[in-house]
Structure 1
Amino acid sequence: MNKDQMPPGRRSVFRIAACLGAAVVGGLLVRERAETPGRPPADGEAGGPQAAAPPPKATTYRLQPMAAYAEPALRRARPPVRKRPFLEVPGMGRTMVLTFDDGPDPRYTPDILAILREHGVRAMFFVCGEMATHNRDLLREMADDGHVVGNHTWSHPLVPKLPPSGIRDQLGRTSEVIEKSLGEAPLWYRAPYGAWNRHSFEIGAELGMEPLGWTLDTLDWTRPGTSTIVRRVMRGAAPGVVVLSHDAGGNRSQSVAALRSYLPKLLDDGYWITVPRR
């Protein structure tokens, strides 16, 4: 994928009163788990060839069922810094969140945006800085359509192998590109491969971001076939699920075709696709 740098330490830590759910008076209800899922990079993706990467682990991220159809609002948080990415949040009935990592890619992101626009739903895009800096028009299109633009590091490295200065560089430089393009820095970030460490939580908090994992990994990066991706999403669909897909990092035509198929099915099944907001 891509490379590194850092913005000024300018924002205080944001916390979520009602992440992906209704606002909760008195603070965020979060349960955290020790495991973090990951996937090895495929050939041609950032992080090196697939053979050199650790084997994929079972996905463990699961959000609590959501309880009402109102978009969540964010509020400034208080220490301590989070020690795990979000696993459970208060929320809303039959609601799901679609997320796309590694982009934006001019070959696939526009089609994904068009499909989401056709069905009137919003998603979260965790972008890599090196991709974003060359595709700022796509960042603006995401924001204009109401999607959430999150930080996925600059060059998609394995974060725990970086020194704190390297993590700050990766997250900071990407936040800076997003802020310069959209007028505001991101409030969310996701570690490549779902590999987090203490420094990443601390530095992410310094930059005003909260960590978000996922519930359902489509494994679309392996290109298992469109029908397989669709089947995984439909079988895993449930209230509060966060779906992980990709709009860059390789040939993502199957990811595009799968979204075109499963999104209307989810809507027909009564799911409401939403994103967090300020």
Structure 2
Amino acid sequence: MKKVQLLTRRRALLAGAAAVGAAGTAGVLTTGPGDEPALPAAPVGGPPARRAHRPSAYRLKPLTGYGSPRAVPVRPPVRREPLLRVSGRGRTMVLTFDDGPDPRYTPDILDTLAEYEVRAMFFVCGEMADAHRELLARMADEGHVVGNHTWSHPLLTRLTRRRIRWEMESTSDVIEEAYGERPLWFRAPYGAWNRAAFQLGAELGMEPLAWTVDTLDWTTPGARTIVDRVEDGAAPGVVVLCHDAGGDRSQSVTALRRYLPRLLDSGYHLTVPRRQYT
């Protein structure tokens, strides 16, 4: 008799434990008075009914954030003077073109650069970039670097700090929209730098880049003179200043076709600068 009672009690305990386990898995434990967990009533005959699982919010929402988090650009130091040269291995030079883009001259310059597989820098004005966004898109596709040359090409030393910020920031906004990313370099119109320009440029994440060789092509001295100035000033680390807008730049286009293959034949590597940090 005792053996039968023990078996009956054991079966009851096992059945109760199974019911508790099933209820716990389904997440239906409730809290009764006194914050003591109350067990659900034992099922009446047959196997315990399965409770339908509620859809998990985790499974319904797509996962985001794959890969490494996006790096936050490091703000460059506030300089007291612009960079004039670039570092690089061997006979490295940089070609830069200011004031554009201009649909009359910039496409010809891009064609010549593409022919010789050379990358260059274009310091664009915001109002020109805004009107010719397709040219900035082409610069991005062909691997050129686009820098900030202010919105309207003013003399920064005569502007308020607020106006300088607007000139720079508005141009960076347009460059980001048309080129695909914000500029990392800026150049003051006329080479007129001041403390505010250096400070604001650094705040906007840009390094100031000037030039080593000025072709003075904006004075239209003739294509031959422009060629001579580039070839006479060629040296490792040199930054050459040319223009692709702001007036008649047909001489600049012609000169590029002449001096570019000569520089390459002389062993120069024409490329774009790299920042030490981003």
Length-normalised TM-score, structure 1: 0.71
Cα contact 1:13–1:206 (8 A) shared by 2: no
> Relative to structure 1, is the Cα distance of residues 88 and 267 closer, same or farther in structure 2, using a 3 angstrom cutoff?
closer
Does residue 1:134 correspond to 2:114, yes or no?
no
Does residue 1:170 correspond to 2:170, yes or no?
no
- Compute the displacement of 1:92 (Å): 1.9
Does residue 1:259 correspond to 2:270, yes or no?
no
Give, as a single letter, the amino acid of the residue that structure 1 aligns with 2:153.
H
Q: 2:176 aligns with which of 171, 175, 179?
A: 179
Please give the per-residue CA displacement for 1:163-219, whole angstroms capped at 9, x wherever unaligned: 000100100100000011122110000000100000001111111100000000000
Please give the per-residue CA displacement for 1:66-91, whole angstroms capped at 9, x wherever unaligned: xxxxxxxxxx3564x11111134542
The corresponding residue for 1:117 is 114
Cα contact 2:82–2:209 (8 A) shared by 1: yes
Cα contact 1:151–1:174 (8 A) shared by 2: yes
Q: How far apart in 2 are the matches of 1:221 and 1:88?
A: 21
The corresponding residue for 1:196 is 193
Q: 1:158 aligns with which of 149, 155, 159?
A: 155
Cα contact 2:184–2:206 (8 A) shared by 1: yes
The corresponding residue for 2:95 is 98
Q: How far apart in 2 are the matches of 1:88 and 1:254?
A: 25
Cα contact 2:122–2:144 (8 A) shared by 1: yes
Does residue 1:208 correspond to 2:220, yes or no?
no
> Relative to structure 1, is the Cα distance of residues 257 and 193 closer, same or farther in structure 2, using a 3 angstrom cutoff?
same
The corresponding residue for 1:230 is 227
- Compute the displacement of 1:93 (Å): 1.3
Q: Which has the higher contact order (CA 8 A, sep 6+)?
A: 1
Give, as a single letter, the amino acid of the residue that structure 1 aligns with 2:252.
S
Q: How far apart in 2 are the matches of 1:262 and 1:89?
A: 20
Cα contact 1:13–1:207 (8 A) shared by 2: no
Q: 1:249 aligns with which of 242, 246, 250?
A: 246
The corresponding residue for 1:59 is none
Cα contact 1:218–1:233 (8 A) shared by 2: yes
Q: How far apart in 1 are the matches of 2:233 and 2:76?
A: 34
Cα contact 2:150–2:167 (8 A) shared by 1: yes
Q: How far apart in 2 are the matches of 1:113 and 1:137?
A: 13
Cα contact 2:150–2:188 (8 A) shared by 1: yes
Q: 1:149 aligns with which of 143, 146, 160?
A: 146
Runs of at least 5 residues in structure 1 that lack an aligned partner in the other structure? 1-11, 15-75
Please give the per-residue CA displacement for 1:140-167, whole angstroms capped at 9, x wherever unaligned: 1011100000000000000010000010
Q: How far apart in 2 are the matches of 1:78 and 1:230?
A: 34
**3-state DSSP of counterpart to 1:133:** helix
Please give the per-residue CA displacement for 1:25-70, whole angstroms capped at 9, x wherever unaligned: xxxxxxxxxxxxxxxxxxxxxxxxxxxxxxxxxxxxxxxxxxxxxx
Q: How far apart in 1 are the matches of 2:145 and 2:167?
A: 19
- After TM superposition, the structure 1 = structure 2 runs for residues 17-36 of structure 1, keeping only pairs within 5 Å, are none
- Compute the displacement of 1:96 (Å): 0.5
The corresponding residue for 1:268 is 265
Cα contact 2:84–2:239 (8 A) shared by 1: no
Length-normalised TM-score, structure 2: 0.71
Q: How far apart in 2 are the matches of 1:91 and 1:196?
A: 25
Larger proportion of helix: 2
What is the total number of aligned residue pairs between the two structures? 205
> Relative to structure 1, is the Cα distance of residues 107 and 234 closer, same or farther in structure 2, using a 3 angstrom cutoff?
same
> Relative to structure 1, is the Cα distance of residues 88 and 231 closer, same or farther in structure 2, using a 3 angstrom cutoff?
closer
> Relative to structure 1, is the Cα distance of residues 176 and 77 closer, same or farther in structure 2, using a 3 angstrom cutoff?
closer
Give, as a single letter, the amino acid of the residue that structure 2 aligns with 1:198.
R
- Higher-Rg structure is 2
Q: 1:84 aligns with which of 81, 85, 102?
A: 81
Q: How far apart in 1 are the matches of 2:239 and 2:72?
A: 23
